[in-house]
């Protein structure tokens, strides 16, 4: 192989690698945000089982679950770069990229409500129940707008 052919070959390989790593970054962001939401879902389940009396109320565990939700948002909001609108079995709605400021505001509200519920847990089961209700309302209001239903 001549030297110039070899160099052309190398740059093609490098170009393909750049494209592939861009796609990998996109897949990574989708996988990460789904995993984070799953953790939020798990923490919410713990809270809701306590509220329903399916598991005993435990102030420390309740607070820990709410803190998981509260802390998740900061990273979650960074996992919507352009190029991740589709793929990776995402259920994110294209609306997220149209009105990101509103999406972010809804997420911040959830985080603030979850932080309040974490504090309320120290006040006992009833105080927790009231604060937890606000957290679950924010799940639905965001999903209704920013998540596409899969049939």
Residue 90 burial (CB count, 10 A): 20
12, with CB counted inside 10 A (0-12, 13-18, 19+), is exposed
Pick between residue 61 and residue 143 the one whose CB is nearest to ligand HEC.
Answer: 143
Q: CA of 1: how far to CAs of 11, 16, 17, 49, in Å? A: 15, 21, 22, 68
- Is 65 among the residues that bind ligand HEC (CB under 6 A)? no
Burial class (CB in 10 A: 0-12, 13-18, 19+), 56: exposed
* Cβ-Cβ contacts under 8 Å for 96 (sequence gap 6 or more): 80, 103, 146
Q: For ligand HEC, which stretch binds (CB under 6 A), given 15-23, 51-59, 99-107, 124-132?
A: 99-107
Establish if 38 lies at the interface with ligand HEC (CB under 6 A). yes
Assess 33 for contact with ligand HEC (CB under 6 A).
Answer: yes
Residue window 7-26: x/- pattern of binding to ligand HEC, with contact defined by CB under 6 A: --------------------
From the list 34-42, 50-58, 59-67, 122-130, the region that binds ligand HEC by CB under 6 A is: 34-42
Binding site for ligand HEC (CB under 6 A): 30, 33-34, 37-38, 40-41, 44, 69, 90-92, 103, 106-107, 110, 135, 138-139, 142-143, 146-147
């Amino acid at each position: 192989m001549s030297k110039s052919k070899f160099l052309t070959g190398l740059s093609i390989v490098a170009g393909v690698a750049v494209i592939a790593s861009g796609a990998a970054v996109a897949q990574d962001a989708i996988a990460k945000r789904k995993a984070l939401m799953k953790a939020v879902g798990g923490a919410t389940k713990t809270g809701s089982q306590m509220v329903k009396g399916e598991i005993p109320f435990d102030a420390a565990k309740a607070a820990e679950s709410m803190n998981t939700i509260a802390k998740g948002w900061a990273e979650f909001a960074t996992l919507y770069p352009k190029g991740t609108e589709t793929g990776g079995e995402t259920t994110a709605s294209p609306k997220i990229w149209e009105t990101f400021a509103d999406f972010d505001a809804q997420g911040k509200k959830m985080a603030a409500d979850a932080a309040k519920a974490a504090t309320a847990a120290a006040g006992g089961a009833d105080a927790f129940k009231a604060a937890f209700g606000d957290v679950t309302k924010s799940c639905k209001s965001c999903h209704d707008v920013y998540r596409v239903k899969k049939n």
